[in-house]
Structure 1
């Protein structure tokens, strides 16, 4: 009897995961959106900073340095989500699909804003690693990207998309 009840609970929980997403999504709080965006920001910042440092240190031009930073931002953003979803027991292919669904728009918006700020900031693209402007422009561009991406994530989560697809694996 206990086994049947447990099996029924597991079945109900699995069937209810989409319902739970929609119920949770309808009541998406700013706190939930901020947490999702902080998660995204972590991966983006690691990749962005690393890419900018590598490209600048190697004396690459602005375009290849920016491309490297963006590629690494997506790589680290997806990797952080993958790590958590794989820990929850999902296979790699399914976990990768979850990471793509959860993070693609969030990372894309963050990178568009972040890199747009740096491109528009006078002299930021020409700053070297030893220049305060390099670090200040990079830090402020990430803060601006975060502020703009929070409402995007709130909107996505509110529709059961974005980080809402990862939410069920965090329990």
Structure 2
């Protein structure tokens, strides 16, 4: 269940993270602005994917947002810390262009590492009725 929850979270994070990095790099934004954009989009897409399923259960929008915040905030936060920390630690990765293998390779590796690190966090939270466990009542 934890791996499934992490994969669900990773999907939203990856969409936002990749989109933010691509937009920031293509627009010539600085490293800090690009990372901030990526993190913001990761949270938006992560919460949106969770809310989509909860809204299908006829939960009002405000309540669905509360469920998404409770379910995904820690998971997305850990994921973003790990994947952005990894990319920042790879020499030249933040300065690589969209056509560079270093850009895509470091981004892919960062997301894989984030999955590995976040899965036990989600397992711990689910075991305590927190995190993604709160979403299962709406499936």
TM range, smaller chain: over 0.9
Report what 2:125 is aligned to: 156
Report what 1:46 is aligned to: 15
- The reply to whether residue 77 of structure 1 matches residue 46 of structure 2 is yes
After TM superposition, give the deviation of residue 157 of structure 1 in Å.
0.3
> Cα RMSD between the aligned structures?
0.3
Q: Partner of 2:135: helix, strand, or coil?
A: helix
The runs of 4+ residues in structure 1 deviating greater than 4 Å are none
Give TM-score, length-normalised by structure 1.
0.81
Q: In 2, Cα distance between the equivalents of 1:135 and 1:160?
A: 36
Report what 1:116 is aligned to: 85
Q: Please, which runs of 5 or more residues in structure 1 have no aligned partner?
A: 1-31
Q: In 2, Cα distance between the equivalents of 1:168 and 1:58?
A: 42
Q: Partner of 1:125: helix, strand, or coil?
A: coil
Report what 1:60 is aligned to: 29
Q: In 2, Cα distance between the equivalents of 1:89 and 1:152?
A: 29
Aligned partner of 2:74 among 100, 105, 108: 105
Q: Which has the larger radius of gyration?
A: 1
After TM superposition, give the deviation of residue 128 of structure 1 in Å.
0.4
Q: In 2, Cα distance between the equivalents of 1:111 and 1:123?
A: 19
Give TM-score, length-normalised by structure 2.
0.99
Q: In 2, Cα distance between the equivalents of 1:61 and 1:142?
A: 21
Aligned residues: 139
Q: Partner of 2:98: helix, strand, or coil?
A: coil
Q: In 2, Cα distance between the equivalents of 1:126 and 1:104?
A: 28
After TM superposition, give the deviation of residue 122 of structure 1 in Å.
1.0
Q: In 2, Cα distance between the equivalents of 1:163 and 1:148?
A: 16
What does the per-residue CA deviation read over 1:122-167, in whole Å, with 9 as the maximum and x for residues that have no partner? 1111100000000000000000000000000000000000000001
